[in-house]
Amino acid sequence: MMHQNIFREIRKVRLDNRSGATALTARASKILERFSRSSRLPHRHFLCQLAALSRLLIHAQPAMVSIFNLANACATAMSKSRHGDPAQAVLATCEQFIESMHLSLQKIASNATPLIENGSVIVTHSFSSTVLQTLLAARSQNRKFRVICTESQPMQEGVALARSLAAARIPVTLVIDSAVFSFLPSASMVIVGADAVCRDGIVNKVGTMGIAQYARSHQVPVYVLTSSEKFFPASAPAAGFGATGKVESSRTGARQITVNNILFDLTPFGLVYRLITERGLERTAAIRSRLRNIRIHPFLRSMLTYS
């Protein structure tokens, strides 16, 4: 049986609307590790408990597909080591998965940096550790460029990104979300991260789709920086688009007004010029092919359409 502390940690993950996919997946990994270290269940019962815990973590942050993929990797590793120690299989998988995410981040930054030339004006939306790493890497190579950051309502993650860039002495302009359309026509490119890459397109902070649409109309290329740990071989997880449980962006004082603070939206592949992964610049056709080849453990297949 799972310890009460684990449920408290899951609740903290569920209530966290500010951290990115990398940070939330790392926290999910710690929870899986804690469960594995404390469990003395035989293999079959351990796998059932692991599946139950995985479902709780996935539902806690359904838009963060890297958590789904972490759980899938753990279940798959256990199935391959039926005669071994299931807890050790999970512990090793968690360590490898998080290490792979960090290594992917470095590779993506290396692959994306050549796109940033002197004089570039870059528009970005929300906070992405991969985007931040890329811009810092370009700055370390003495590239001279300017960044337009949106506030990224309702949680204002873009403010944190702007502060990080300013601390690195990168010229940055912080604008309200609706003002970004005034800056897009003169931008060199749009660079954003992703919480998921699914069969339908890119799941990212709400507002990404509108920015991509407007950028395309002005022939401004949109690049999405993401690792394969965020690939999801089905339609976008519906629950990932749910609103926050409290009013974040508007305090109306009127019961008749419904405030819906949607956190994510879906940007179709057709609006994205290139995806940049740990493998390099990839066309959407190649991404779709890779999505079709992802194998899901039987315990998690029912969650391919979770909502």
- HSE at residue 127, side-chain half, CA atoms within 13 A, is 22
Asked if 95 and 149 sit in the same domain, the reply is: no
- Range(s) of the domain holding residue 247: 107-292
Could you tell me the CATH number of the domain that includes residue 27? 1.20.120.420
Identify the sign of the CA torsion 268, 272, 274, 277. negative
Do 169 and 36 fall within a single domain? Answer: no
Residues 53-92: tens digit of each pLDDT? 999 999 998 888 999 999 999 989 887 766 678 888 999 9
Residues 185 and 259 in one domain: yes
Task: Give the separation between CA 15 and CA 306, rounded to whole angstroms.
Answer: 19
The predicted-structure confidence for 89-126, as pLDDT tens digits, reads as follows 999 999 999 999 999 999 999 999 999 999 999 999 99
Q: Is 195 a catalytic residue?
A: yes
**Helical spans, DSSP H, in the chain:** 4-15, 21-38, 43-60, 65-80, 86-112, 129-140, 157-167, 180-183, 208-217, 284-292, 298-301
What is the CATH classification number for the domain harbouring 192? 3.40.50.10470
**Same domain, yes or no, for 129 and 249?**
yes
* 233 preceded by a cis bond (ω within 30 of 0): no
Q: Who's near 251: CB < 8 A, 6+ residues apart?
A: none
Domain tally, the chain = 2
Of 85, 177, 195, 265, the catalytic one is: 195
Strand bridging mode 264-268 / 201-205 = antiparallel
The answer on 235 and 116 residing in a single domain is yes
DSSP letter (8 states) at residue 296: -
pTM above 0.85, yes or no: yes
Q: What is the pLDDT of residues 217-244, one digit of tens each?
A: 999 999 999 999 999 988 876 544 555 4
